Chain A
């Protein structure tokens, strides 16, 4: 479907917020995503992004420029047409006990956690390797432990700070290395772990099996239709 850009703001040098019109009236569930066609002639596949916010007439994305595709989406201006498919993915339907849940985000992985952190009391650890997400946290009024790899008040990886909290469930999104640490921690300490997982996608709608994720039992799960929120302990992070 075709939507229009309502707002685009660069919150940091390379992380921007993109708000577009919403003409699709289907319910949008936690964790669901959209796939956006870039404006580049040489990139044919769409790119998947978590729907960070959904309002009656708009949906919002938080995107980091990591290559030419995201750069081209960052060049969209107010009023531009956007070729987009949404909502995609199974979404997250479990009831979370927020008292006993810790959210762990790493880098732009925070985008997938934002929809979970609205209008509720939550616990959050956010790993920000280079210390570049201050404005993003402020914009979304996110409160939590903000750690950086080599400096600041909380120096280290997000997993270094897990023991400060009481919880029985982890919801994590970020680099594979972080998710793997969370899996190891969850297995060792018998915690439930939901990973909001990312993989290169072909179609995003279940046609191609390009985004299959390997599981501990030797099988594969189609991320686009079964995810993106998966049982983090089942995934093989290689």
Chain B
């Protein structure tokens, strides 16, 4: 029997393959392409306390090696999620994490209090790393102190699995992760997109109205892989590796450097059935290599130093 199961907090994932927030819709769209019984899970799009309209167009542009996005957390707010979306996804047979994007401590606490009264999901991924936040006051990831204030006490609100999603664009992420670990978070989702931009040469203007956008896709893989490796060294709780994974080899690299599980973002946009495909190909790889348990792969990097 090949065992692909991994545990993060109270959540057991059937495989270490998870659909990343922002690229997995609300799970509803993904369910048409993947057998949820055969994947690890998915993380919803960001939920905010109140409805959020999202950014002006353009929102997405392809560049060499990846895509830039400026979506802007578009969603109908937490109450709408509870009433209209949760009932549709609650019976899905994979792990379901709700990505929460707070603009204040009150926001975060209110959302968790509202959501925690409900069943039908496994945990939260607190997202303080949206690449399209330009207001410094709510850009928690850019400040260790602001993040500390925000995250303090979150653990007391819920017994569900708690993840924290961090940005590779701020050095503070490593300190924030260590703090989250002390606070009782169960895992770190790393990395979010890299903050980048794009210029329209003809118009001599930035393409995105917010100037900045989140860069993802295969081009970021080596950067994220190294960042994940560093994060694995920084904290003892599970790290969920994210960054440009498009195939089995990419997935294995992240697992080998110590990621307990991985999230696929841009890969899902290209190939909506990639979560099931990667889960299956990982299982086949393990059978072929006579690896009985995924734990034999996770963190198995041989370090020469």
Interface residues of A (CB under 8 A from B): 37, 42-46, 85, 199-203, 205-214, 218-220, 225, 238
CB distance from A1 to the nearest CB of B (A): 10
B71 and A207 contacting across the interface, CB-CB below 8 Å: no
Give chain B residues whose Cβ lies under 8 Å from the Cβ of A209: 45, 54, 59, 71, 74
Partner of A44, one of B33, B54, B67: B67
Known: A208-B69, A214-B57. A43 touches B62 (CB 8 A): yes
Interface residues of B (CB under 8 A from A): 22-25, 28-30, 32-33, 45, 53-54, 56-62, 64-67, 69, 71, 74, 217-218, 246, 266, 268-270, 272
Partner of B23, one of A37, A200, A208: A208
A212 and B62 contacting across the interface, CB-CB below 8 Å: no
A205 and B29 contacting across the interface, CB-CB below 8 Å: yes
B61: nearest chain-A partner, CB-CB: A200
CB distance from B116 to the nearest CB of A (A): 26
Partner of A214, one of B23, B30, B56, B67: B56
CB distance from A97 to the nearest CB of B (A): 33
Known: A44-B66, A214-B56. A207 touches B269 (CB 8 A): yes
A42 and B56 contacting across the interface, CB-CB below 8 Å: no
Give chain A residues whose Cβ lies under 8 Å from the Cβ of B67: 44-45, 202
Known: A205-B29, A207-B24, A209-B74. A42 touches B64 (CB 8 A): yes
CB distance from A42 to the nearest CB of B (A): 6
Give Cα A44 to B64, complex, Å: 9
CB distance from B119 to the nearest CB of A (A): 25
Give Cα A2 to B217, complex, Å: 23
A-B contact pairs, 11 of them (CB 8 A): A44-B62, A44-B67, A202-B60, A205-B32, A205-B33, A205-B272, A207-B24, A208-B22, A212-B59, A212-B71, A213-B57
Partner of A212, one of B33, B74, B246: B74
Give chain A residues whose Cβ lies under 8 Å from the Cβ of B269: 45, 202-203, 207-208
Q: Across chains A and B, which 10 residue pairs bring their CB atoms closest together, nearest first? A: A210-B60, A203-B269, A206-B29, A207-B25, A202-B60, A202-B269, A210-B59, A45-B62, A209-B74, A209-B71
